[in-house]
Structure 1
Amino acid sequence: MPAQRLLLVHAHPDDESIGQGATMAKYAAEGRGVTLVTCTAGELGEILVPSLEHLAADKDDTLGEHRRQEIADAMAELGVTDHRWLGGFGRYRDSGMKWDDDGNATAADEMDERAFANADLLEAANHLVEVIREVRPQVLVTYDQFGQYGHPDHIQAHRVATYATALAAVPSYRRDLGEAWDISKVYWGAMSESRFREGMRALRDAGDTTSFEGMDPDGPLPWTTPDADLAAVVDATDYAERKIAAMKAHATQITVDGPFFALSNNAGNHVWGVEYYRLAKGTQGELGPDGLETDLFAGL
């Protein structure tokens, strides 16, 4: 077992690569333990490849199985060898979503009875407790209480990860799930407000006026985190190409020719290779020159 171990809890395939792909690749390359738990197979994701539209839920309903291979390919790009499905593949189904008037995701009008958002919280948490007690991570990464942008599966992943973290640390709780383990630090993935504004300005300067249309680099920005609330930044610029390759592996979900990819290679890599975090549990360790931890294991 590696001396330092990171556990990430995400809702769908591709969330991990977009959010923390560079961190995962960096830590895996450094010999640290990296375990990813994915809660659903993303059966209701939007399909961007016309020839694969038959996989959709209202047709063959086989997108989940296809994305199972996509995430396997993505993990290979990141060098991550320990990937698990919460409760086993297919245990929980993508809940779907729709956009509200404020531009945030919210629950769909209709939801399958197997939807992750409807899952019994204790049952789902117990599946994760077993993983926590086996892997014994010092650090866990998941979403904030809003799932960053409101998707019901992201919010449920936050709830499950938070509950499981607490339960796993109780010595007398479900001894059959393994020996108790208290995770030292819990982080929520975040998007730096200042960095996002800089990226938008760079796009505008490069002549891109359509990306993030309707959003003002100097106006309100949803889904971002004020820099004062950030606790850590992992500069994994050297692993940005691996992150981008992992994103490309999720071909049904991501078109890797959009915002920021139009920037120069160095600028684009910096956008994708530097990842930010909020600290939800634990104490900050040594801080870098900008007042943030530069390693999620700092102080441990």
Structure 2
Amino acid sequence: MTADQRLLLVHAHPDDEVIGNGATMAKYVAEGRGVTLVTCTAGEMGEILVPELEHLAADRDDQLGEHRRGELANAMKALGVSDHRFLGGFGAYRDSGMKWHEDGHAIAADETDPRAFANADLTEASAHLVAIIRELRPQVLVTYDEFGGYGHPDHIQAHRVATYGAALAAVPSYRPDLGEAWDVAKIYWGAMSESRMRASLRALREAGDTTTFEGMDPDGPLPHFITADENLAAVVVADDYVDAKMAAMKAHASQITLDGPFFALSNNQGSSVWGHEFYRIAKGERGELGEDGLETDLFAGL
């Protein structure tokens, strides 16, 4: 990768990257910055939303991972991202599955495959990422917070691998066989703005939509994956790339339906909801701030 500024994203399953970071990815590619996506599993245990694809499920043909591999490739084409990889190679780690806790967040499934990503040895999995970091030498890394957004065990493991991998990559004496040490200058956790989410929910309810994000009250408590605005560090404004983000979402057809909540938000709120992508800073110093007190470029100050 020859771009002077390089962004590395670490996500758990195909489609995770588009929802939170798709517009950022498309914008940075268009600006000539290097963008690399590392996906930790193929999403073999995902819920299939297309009836004619139900035979791909893990308890039937068990081919969903291969199908989602193709969806991911198409989504990356829509965003313009040419460098996307699976951690350790395709099939190295399997989707761990999940179930819902009564409090509304995800938790580990009752049974997991021995190859499940949540069961992976942290040092071994992180070493795969160390090799990528030392090869690409990114200045910025994006992943999830410590709860994985909503508790999915693979999201939590991706956070751990990204965090530990970045730390190990900077140690000169650690695994020199994986390349020359590299210290990632800035690490961000993807986030969703509380004020924008409340405004979007309010608009949906006022429009008579009571089913999108059912049970979420615009004036009540919100799930963990919504971030209080005072904890936000950066926003990438990429309204011009919302169409690319929507096309990438459509590419993940087995997981995201056109009548689902993401498109409902888009139809009601337009680019204002999906063209602004927010981040919390986990490592590094913030650079120049915009009028709202947030960085407007993840590379600010570098």
Query: What does residue 157 of structure 2 align with?
Result: 156
User: Secondary structure of 2:273's partner?
Assistant: helix
Correspondences of 1:202-213 after superposition (within 5 Å) = 202-213=203-214
User: 2: distance between equivalents of 1:259 and 1:43?
Assistant: 22
User: Secondary structure of 2:261's partner?
Assistant: coil
Query: What does residue 222 of structure 2 align with?
Result: 221
The one-character-per-residue Cα deviations of 1:12-58 (angstroms, maximum 9, x if unpaired) are: 00000111000000000111000000000000000011001000000
Letter in 2 for 1:284: R
Query: What does residue 294 of structure 1 align with?
Result: 296
Letter in 2 for 1:237: D
User: Secondary structure of 2:8's partner?
Assistant: strand
Correspondences of 1:54-69 after superposition (within 5 Å) = 54-69=55-70
User: 2: distance between equivalents of 1:291 and 1:132?
Assistant: 30
Q: Displacement, 1:251?
A: 0.4
Q: Displacement, 1:256?
A: 2.4
- State the Cα RMSD in Å: 1.1
Q: Displacement, 1:211?
A: 1.5
Query: What does residue 49 of structure 2 align with?
Result: 48
Q: Displacement, 1:260?
A: 5.7
Structure 1 runs, 4 residues or longer, greater than 4 Å off: 262-266
The answer on whether the counterparts of 1:262 and 1:268 sit within 8 Å (CA) in structure 2 is no
Aligned length: 300
Query: What does residue 108 of structure 1 align with?
Result: 109
User: Secondary structure of 1:51's partner?
Assistant: helix
User: 1: distance between equivalents of 2:266 and 2:130?
Assistant: 43
User: Secondary structure of 2:226's partner?
Assistant: coil
User: 2: distance between equivalents of 1:263 and 1:132?
Assistant: 35
The one-character-per-residue Cα deviations of 1:77-130 (angstroms, maximum 9, x if unpaired) are: 000000010000000000000000110000000010000000000000000000
Residues 81/101 of structure 1: CA separation in 2 closer, same or farther (3 Å cut): same
The answer on whether the counterparts of 1:71 and 1:249 sit within 8 Å (CA) in structure 2 is yes
The one-character-per-residue Cα deviations of 1:215-250 (angstroms, maximum 9, x if unpaired) are: 210110012000000000001111011001001000
The answer on whether the counterparts of 2:186 and 2:284 sit within 8 Å (CA) in structure 1 is yes
User: 1: distance between equivalents of 2:237 and 2:247?
Assistant: 18
Residues 45/100 of structure 1: CA separation in 2 closer, same or farther (3 Å cut): same
Letter in 2 for 1:82: D
The answer on whether the counterparts of 2:71 and 2:253 sit within 8 Å (CA) in structure 1 is yes
Normalising to structure 2: TM-score of the pair?
0.97
User: 2: distance between equivalents of 1:121 and 1:204?
Assistant: 43
Query: What does residue 22 of structure 2 align with?
Result: 21
User: Secondary structure of 1:191's partner?
Assistant: strand
The one-character-per-residue Cα deviations of 1:247-274 (angstroms, maximum 9, x if unpaired) are: 1000000012333634676832221111
The answer on whether the counterparts of 1:203 and 1:260 sit within 8 Å (CA) in structure 2 is no
Query: What does residue 72 of structure 2 align with?
Result: 71
User: Secondary structure of 1:6's partner?
Assistant: strand
User: Secondary structure of 2:227's partner?
Assistant: coil
The answer on whether the counterparts of 2:235 and 2:276 sit within 8 Å (CA) in structure 1 is yes
Query: What does residue 94 of structure 1 align with?
Result: 95
Query: What does residue 83 of structure 1 align with?
Result: 84
Bigger mean CA offset, 209-218 vs 244-253: 209-218
Residues 262/127 of structure 1: CA separation in 2 closer, same or farther (3 Å cut): closer
Query: What does residue 252 of structure 1 align with?
Result: 254
User: 2: distance between equivalents of 1:238 and 1:131?
Assistant: 30
User: Secondary structure of 2:74's partner?
Assistant: helix
User: 1: distance between equivalents of 2:134 and 2:292?
Assistant: 35
Query: What does residue 130 of structure 2 align with?
Result: 129
Residues 18/76 of structure 1: CA separation in 2 closer, same or farther (3 Å cut): same
Alignment partner of 2:280 out of 269, 273, 278: 278
The answer on whether the counterparts of 1:247 and 1:256 sit within 8 Å (CA) in structure 2 is no
Query: What does residue 231 of structure 1 align with?
Result: 233
The answer on whether the counterparts of 1:260 and 1:268 sit within 8 Å (CA) in structure 2 is no
Q: Displacement, 1:207?
A: 1.6
Q: Displacement, 1:205?
A: 1.8
User: 1: distance between equivalents of 2:117 and 2:261?
Assistant: 30
